[in-house]
Structure 1
Amino acid sequence: MDTTAAAAAVTFVWLGMVLAISFLEAPLKFRAPGVTVPLGLGIGRLVFRALNRVETLLAAAVIALTAAGGGPASVAVLTAVAALVLAAQLLVIRPRLNRRSDRVLAGEELPRSRAHLLYVAAETVKVLVLLALGIESLTV
């Protein structure tokens, strides 16, 4: 398998994980019987911590494969955008969400978070970029 095909495969695995967890598991867990907001937040923190670790590894793999493949600039740009969105989520948005969830888990009642909406927007951008990256990598 050449490096661009491998980059496409890793990209689609990454995309699938984000879709499954962020857009399926995360909203559904709060609809399960008996799941309270604190319980859902606790589960969510564990799941997203694990997802973000795997995403970091997948991003590193895509970056390495893209660099080794010497493909077109479009693939490099899309790779950089996906990595930057992930970095923004990990370094800017997630810490804010973690501080807020700490407060909720400590018993505070807080209004809905705008940081949560920002995270969802970033996830949506990342999904679109990963889809474009996977397709672009396959057409090289």
Structure 2
Amino acid sequence: MNLAVGAIAFLWLGMVLALSFLEAPLKFRAPGITVPLGLGIGRLVFRALNIVEVVLLLGVGIALLAGPRSTPILWATAAVALLLVVQLAAVRPALAARTRRVLAGDPHTGSRAHLAYIALELVKVGGLVVLGLAASAVI
């Protein structure tokens, strides 16, 4: 079952890297994409990503219940779960409020919540790498 945890962790890692660190910044460079349009797209993409992340976390949990669990795997899972909960419960609501303001015509574009989300994503990437490697018995 640890291989299933590793596979889920690396799938999750790939999704976060592709969407958070590739798609998100690149969409604003596309011709014709305005800030409001980019934010509208981002809201849909990140809502979908967050739903998939919850499903993947549940998959990790089920695999851990069904098979052997090492301390590094449990700690890495707990860390990634905590980061996701903080993103969803604390940071996403602030980002959603900002997006609503921008879409309503507020010209304010700065956001500390955005920086917090990015920082949490970076830490989550590290946690997913550790989880994947620990589950694959590499560390």
**What TM-score, normalized by structure 1, do the two folds share?**
0.96
**SS, match of residue 107 in structure 2:** coil
2:109 and 2:9 mapped to 1: Cα distance? 35
Deviation of the 1:111 alpha carbon: 3.9
The counterpart of 2:83, out of the listed 72, 82, 85, is 85
List aligned pairs for 1:1-140, cutoff 5 A.
Answer: 3-139=1-137
Deviation of the 1:71 alpha carbon: 1.9
Deviation of the 1:24 alpha carbon: 0.2
Q: Does the aligned pair in 1 maintain the 2:2–2:63 contact within 8 Å?
A: yes
**What TM-score, normalized by structure 2, do the two folds share?**
0.96
2:29 and 2:96 mapped to 1: Cα distance? 21
Deviation of the 1:68 alpha carbon: 2.3
Structure 2: gaps (5+ residues): none
Deviation of the 1:76 alpha carbon: 0.4
In the alignment, residue 116 of structure 1 is paired with which amino acid? H
2:57 and 2:83 mapped to 1: Cα distance? 11
In the alignment, residue 116 of structure 2 is paired with which amino acid? L
Structure 1: gaps (5+ residues): none
> Identity, % of aligned pairs?
56
